[in-house]
């Protein structure tokens, strides 16, 4: 059950971030196709699955800075590879250097927004826990 809750949390965070990045990329365009919207949902679902799985197997113990960087690079690379395949399937990018750069930058933007969203969720959770502790003390 905890895994499903984490998956839903990551799906919401990632999907929101993807929509923001797509909105920025589509500035100046009038419309986005319905098939693109379904592609966004499927892409968000796939990357949320990777992210949830990655954090489920990520070591819980304290790791070195080098290990943290390595884990980040592995996670980011998995996301870029997945999005390159899905981006090609949905006709968003080609299998060329330009397509790779566009997708790598888009994934980086989504990653940054997702980290920020996760940070906000953590702050809200901590605030709720502190309020509950204050009520418990009274």
Q: How far apart are CA 76 and CA 11, in angstroms?
A: 16
DSSP per position, 89-106? HTTS--SSHHHHHHHHHH
Which pLDDT does position 77 carry in this prediction? 96
Report pLDDT digits (tens) over 77-102.
Answer: 999 999 999 999 999 999 999 999 99
pLDDT for residue 59: 64
Res 76: pLDDT = 96
Q: What is the largest CA-CA distance in the chain?
A: 63
What's the Rg (C-alpha) of the chain?
Answer: 17
Q: Which domain holds residue 70?
A: 2-137
For residue range 2-21, list pLDDT tens digits in order: 889 989 999 999 999 999 99
Q: Return the number of other C-beta atoms located less than 10 Å from residue 13's C-beta.
A: 22
Cα(95)–Cα(88) distance, integer angstroms: 7
- Number of structural domains the chain divides into: 1
pLDDT of residue 90: 94
Instruction: Tell me how far the alpha carbon of residue 61 is from its chain's centroid.
Output: 23
The model carries a pTM of 0.83
Give the pLDDT of residue 25.
83
């Amino acid at each position: 059950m905890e895994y499903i809750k984490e998956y839903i949390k990551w799906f919401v965070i990632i999907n929101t971030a993807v929509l923001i990045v797509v909105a920025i990329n589509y500035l100046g365009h009038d419309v986005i196709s319905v098939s693109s919207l379904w592609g966004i949902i499927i892409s968000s679902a796939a990357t949320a699955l990777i992210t949830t799985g990655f954090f489920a197997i990520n070591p819980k113990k304290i790791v070195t800075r080098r290990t943290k960087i390595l884990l980040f690079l592995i996670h980011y690379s998995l996301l870029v590879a997945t999005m390159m395949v899905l981006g090609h399937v949905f006709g968003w990018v080609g299998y060329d250097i330009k397509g790779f750069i566009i997708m790598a930058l888009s994934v980086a933007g989504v990653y940054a927004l997702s980290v920020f969203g996760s940070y906000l969720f953590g702050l809200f959770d901590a605030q709720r826990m502190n309020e509950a502790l204050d009520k418990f003390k009274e």
